[in-house]
Structure 1
Amino acid sequence: MKILVTGGGGFLGFAIVRLLKTQGHEVVSFSRHNYPYLDELEVIQFQGNLLDFKALKKAVEGCEVVFHVAAKLGMWGKYIDFFETNVLGTENVIQACKEEGVRFLVFTSSPSVVFDGKDSEGEDESLPYPKKYNAFYPQTKAMAEKLVISANNSSLKTVCLRPHLIWGPGDTQLLPSLIEKAKQGKLRIVGDGRNKVDCIYVENAAMAHTKVLDQMIKNPSKVEGKAYFISQGNPIPMAELIQKLLATAGISPVKKYLSPLIAKFLGRVLETSSRFLGIPSEPMVTLFLAQQLSSAHWFDISASKRDFGYEPEISIEEGMKHLTNWLSSIKDIK
């Protein structure tokens, strides 16, 4: 099959591309830049912005499947930037799929679309969207997810996946941020660190995307128009996850702690002052980040196991070994 991956040069997007290539598919990538490692895999590359409908439609042409992975990530920035990429960009993807006769659309969403700042332990997909969001990323991803779900029909089958805290080789978000803050002495465990969270190794996340596509092709009624949590299915304390990730880079465990109340207060104050003063750089802590670090958030993934046979094949321990080896190889190259 001919398959388009938006954001094919990114962290998760590239993992999906690699897996699709091993499965024998013809893969197309639509990203803002050209990536030599995609050329090495003989991936057809189109460059453009999701707001450029003409360029996007050209990339979609002839494809039966679209994995819409591209998004504006982060906890800080202007609302319009998140809205344009995550919402208007998704509208363009959906419209291009309709005009080009794409049969299946798999959208990469996020568990943060249902995060209300409080503990969430073992909840399933019946968890409602919150009335208020404390960051533009989850707010606009929720808007995009709703668009994709409502676009499902007899001609275009759609599904949304919510991978939780993706990590692994090639990570450009979570791990680099942790390493930088740790090296600067700015990293803190918020609370006692025993709040449990789940995560997902990048190759498991990629595999979930191809698994749900298989089910959409074979028996679309089981998954179409739905959203699914995907993770390791193995909640661990937040402090343990942070320490494990830092250890892959040879960084000593974080020993400084910060009260959740103080972290949330600082987040509010720093966000307000940064916006008032027009400071573009991300504050040391935001309210959303403080809530994420201090709350328990893990979800029931039994629906993804039942409906499309998802099982995390790579454990946290095995994944950490892969990540350690990758980081070592990067150092050797440098």
Structure 2
Amino acid sequence: MGNLYLTVCPNWCFTTNLSCHYNGRIVLAWDPDEFQIDIIHMGSQLIHTCVTPRSSDKGFFCTFIYGFNTPTERESLWAPLTSFSNLNHQAWLVMGDFNSIMEMEDRIGALVRLADIKPMRNCMATCNLTQVKTIGRQFTWNNKQEGENRVFSRIDRVLSNTAWDDKFPTAEAMYLPEGTFDHCPMILSTLSTCQSKKPFRFYNMWTSSPDFLPIIEKHWEKYVYGCPMFRIIQKLKWIKQDLRVLNKSGYSNIEATKIQLQHQLADIQNKLHTDPTDALLATEEKAIDAAYRTAKENHLSFLHQTSKAHWLEQGDENSRAFYQSIR
């Protein structure tokens, strides 16, 4: 690593987790003129840090990940992440090569089992982490094999909690072409914006979620010390944070969800026409039909609310223009 330290980034600071694994699997480098990095915890699969930009006070926690190759070895990765989440409620970013997938669609060319996605999904749900907006390559790794042996996977991710999203609302992760490597390089950008903060809007479609009422009840039953108005405002802030997480987990792309369920319904119905006596297919059709109806209602509700909001905004702009014209 000496050549890297001396020639590529001669004035930068470096650290590795060599003390936790004989290969030193993670190398972390930063420009000390731009960032102050405090190392909080090191393990064989992660480095947990506190990052403070020199140019602002928008500090945050960042955990850099390089997960082991097998599910058994990766078991020791999830517990520290859960522990960091329980100890910290400030802005937090988790990024790197998890060597694990979160969705059934995250791998093509090889079989995906529910057991492959369950550990990471459970951990991310426990930690209240969601994916930062991504652009560029959909699959971040491939095995460079030929023909039917080629496997594509989405195993590199950038995840964040609600506090980080609020602090960096314009952030996005760009996955570049892999070139001669098996992984796609990633650039995380937190573009500054001069626009005002996007206001919070309540969508009626959220009430269709089985988690909606538990979220309201959980925070409304909490005791808050202070005057009645302060207590209400504090409870609404807690509810707003959880509703944003709920929106990202199931309502962030409702039109795509509706179309996907529509295709699934058509596919299962085609199978039923081929084998009308299959009881399992009939049960599956009923479940997908119910999910599709809910998704369709959510989409219509969303369109109704957004169109009404746009109409009100346009009317407000027209009123201001009319006022200015008669002054």
| TM-score computed with the length of structure 1 as normaliser | 0.30
Q: Could you say which structure has the greater relative contact order, defined with CA pairs below 8 angstroms and 6 or more residues apart?
A: 1
Q: Which has the larger radius of gyration?
A: 2
| TM-score computed with the length of structure 2 as normaliser | 0.31
